[in-house]
Structure 1
Amino acid sequence: MSCNRYRDAIHELVDGTLGPVRRAELQTHLDVCPDCVALVADLQKIRDAAATLDPVQPRDHVWMQIAGRLRQEGRVTATAPARHHHLALLAMAAALVLAIAGSLYVLRLTDAPANTDIATNTGATIPTKNDTTARGNAVSSDVVQGIADELAAADQHYQSALSKLKDLHPETAAVIAENHEIIDRAIAESRTALQSEPQSAPAQHSLFQALSQKVTLLQSTIALMNEMRKGNSAGAAQLVDRAKKS
């Protein structure tokens, strides 16, 4: 049973955009696949947690510059109040890393031994080990490339977010940057190993663990920014201390 074909449908189900026909097909698969059921549950928890993030208003001069540019281009005729998630870039980075983890989860399911249905008619062709391995390598390579692309996008969002967060104390910024660098090195090493052996279970597990740590750190960074915005210095200090010990 191939779980890879249901990857997009699972994400659409969690997002609430899956149509009734594909939903029925996916439900049939979920009825017999506990791994995909677990993936749906995990993604739903992540989506629920992301919905609790507080919106933060950017600095006034940023909106003034944007409004001025829009007026110059004739896109707006008057200044209007706007809302923007100042931490949206970090949240997007975390979401992308979670998508990467989902890709890796699918990769692990794809590489798991599958039950091959052997037809009873004498004309049936049974796939050979080489055929199965070739298909597995092709799927694995595609997923690994997707992971690389998503990691690059996540890192871009993360770097852009940090460059805009000017309220961080230099020592705090250094702690966060150091923790991210440590995890990024672990991710890079695991990626290299996985590119060499896409079907290596230890390499997949190592990358999955590193990505999980990346998500946790991104979420902690978002929580820290929220505490600082609220003026809760005690809560922010606790998060910084926790980051130093991690």
Structure 2
Amino acid sequence: MSKKRILYVEDDETLGFLTADSLESQFDIAHFTNGKAGFESFCKENYDLCILDVMLPDMDGFEIATAIRKRNQEIPILFLSAKTMKEDRIKGLKLGADDYLVKPYSMEELILKIEIFLNRSQKSAIKSNALYLIGSFEFDPANYCLTKDKTVTNLTEREAALLRLFLDNKNTVLKREKILMELWGTDDYFMGRSLDVFISRLRKIFKDEPNIRIENIPRVGFKLLLD
């Protein structure tokens, strides 16, 4: 089996060399020290995952992520940064990143996250063409939308991923930690608050469907009930 290809953009030559050297036994790593060069490579080559430093010459990580998302909504993006400010983390996630690791990070944690996101991306690709019927709605996960009586409700990428996770595990308790790891690769408090917002939105969408309920299981997680 061929190795998964990773675009890695990091301008710290020592850190970049050490990280690329640690990853290349498991992955095909293309390392760039310049933001513009990294994005130009993304436009020419096929990659399975992107690892981006935030502070880069010519084109910073946020700019690269924005440009990548205009071309590809699915590829996992992981930010690496020495910046610990909450605002930077929020900005990165809003741009469509899958996670944000603060330097210094452990190689074990980085590799774990890479594997989680590649696995999730592969599952998503396999299921991307499948449509789901849920009550009087038709759910199209590939296009992040629900359709009812020709009325389309658009979802965010993560809302669609969350709904598909529920549907693939309907009438089964999903632990909060499992949901967070599947969607973000981490189960920290910040992501937990985002999860609550997404579940509240899904409940609002299905409020007129008596046979569809997302039940809260105290101190455990949630269950999608379909009658």
TM-score band, normalised by the shorter chain?
Answer: 0.3 to 0.5
* Larger helix percent: 1
TM-score, normalised on structure 1? 0.32
Tell which has more relative contact order, 1 or 2 (C-alpha 8 A, sep 6+).
1
TM-score, normalised on structure 2? 0.34
Computing the radius of gyration from Cα coordinates, the structure with the larger value is 1
* Larger strand percent: 2
